[in-house]
Structure 1
Amino acid sequence: MNQVSLIGRLTKEPEIKYTSNGKANTRFTLAVQRTYTNLNGEKEADFINCSAWGKIAENIANYLKKGYLVGLTGRIQTSIFNGEDGKKVFYTEVVAESVNFLESKK
């Protein structure tokens, strides 16, 4: 089973792009706070790469802004490609299948 649930804040404004056949896509990063504190008593966060397709991507781009709190469920997807230096690059992201807006507009 490949299922992920996250609650976090967008780290920047989402940007939407369209494929050549008109399908919407957006990539964004969520800052997800860890449940424990470090030695200084501060909470840390993980920055998780995410993407969405279709109507979900359009809703994210149209209604969410940097700093908004969202919850999402999706799946982990890994891509492999050759970098500019010819070495293999592994890219892991969460592909959102459902997104919930957890804050109203500020």
Structure 2
Amino acid sequence: MNKVVLIGRLTKDPELRFTPGMGKAVTTFTIAVDRRFTRDGQREADFIPIVVWGKQAESTANYMSKGKLIGISGRIQTRSYESRDGIRKYVTEVIAEEVQFLEWGQKSVRDNNTEVLSEDFGKDSSFNEDIYGEDITPVDEGDIPF
């Protein structure tokens, strides 16, 4: 079984690209995941590269930014390639199957050729469906039973 679940913070803004030919969206980013234990009182983290495909890739690139908390569920994949200087490179990354935005952030969003600044979602924030689309539903933290 190859299943991984991670919660961490983005180390920089996600990079959205489209594959040549088919034009399928792919977003890559790295998250910092805190280690459970510390060394000499210093917290440590692992930096995990993540790849997201399709509609989730576009949403992640549009609504997430550096420093925001994100949850990822997916699988580990390894691959290798030959670099331009002829050296064999090995890559281990997580291919995301599910992406959860655990923190929304002050990021600029394009909507109908106008730029709108998104707001952090909180108890006093209102959800603007025109900006985010109907495929994203806000969570009212007052309804959570814990």
User: What TM-score do you get using the length of structure 2 for normalisation?
Assistant: 0.69
Q: Which residue of 2 aligns with 1:26?
A: 27
When the two chains are superposed, the root-mean-square deviation of aligned CA atoms in Å is 1.0
| Pair 1:60-2:60 in alignment | yes
- Tell me the SS of whatever aligns to 2:59: helix
Residue type of the partner of 2:23?
G
Q: Which residue of 1 aligns with 2:38?
A: 37
Q: Which residue of 1 aligns with 2:6?
A: 6
Structure 1: which 4+ aligned runs deviate by more than 4 Å?
Answer: none
Q: Which residue of 1 aligns with 2:84?
A: 84
Residue type of the partner of 2:30?
T
Who wins on radius of gyration, i.e. which is larger?
A: 2
User: What TM-score do you get using the length of structure 1 for normalisation?
Assistant: 0.94
Give the superposition deviation at 1:42: 1.3
Query: Across the two proteins, how many residue pairs are aligned to each other?
Result: 105
Residue type of the partner of 1:90?
Y
Residue type of the partner of 1:96?
A
Question: For the residues of structure 1 that align with 2:30 and 2:104, how far apart are their CA atoms?
Answer: 19
Give the superposition deviation at 1:85: 2.8
5+ residue gaps, structure 2: 106-119, 121-146
Give the superposition deviation at 1:72: 0.6
Residue type of the partner of 2:50?
C
Question: For the residues of structure 1 that align with 2:66 and 2:50, how far apart are their CA atoms?
Answer: 14
Give the superposition deviation at 1:6: 0.3
Percent of aligned pairs with the same residue? Answer: 54
Structure number with higher relative contact order (C-alpha < 8 Å, ≥ 6 residues apart) = 1
Deviations 1:24-65 (A, max 9, x none): 0011000000011112x0111000011100011001100000
Specify which structure has the higher proportion of strand.
1
Bigger mean CA offset, 16-25 vs 81-90: 81-90
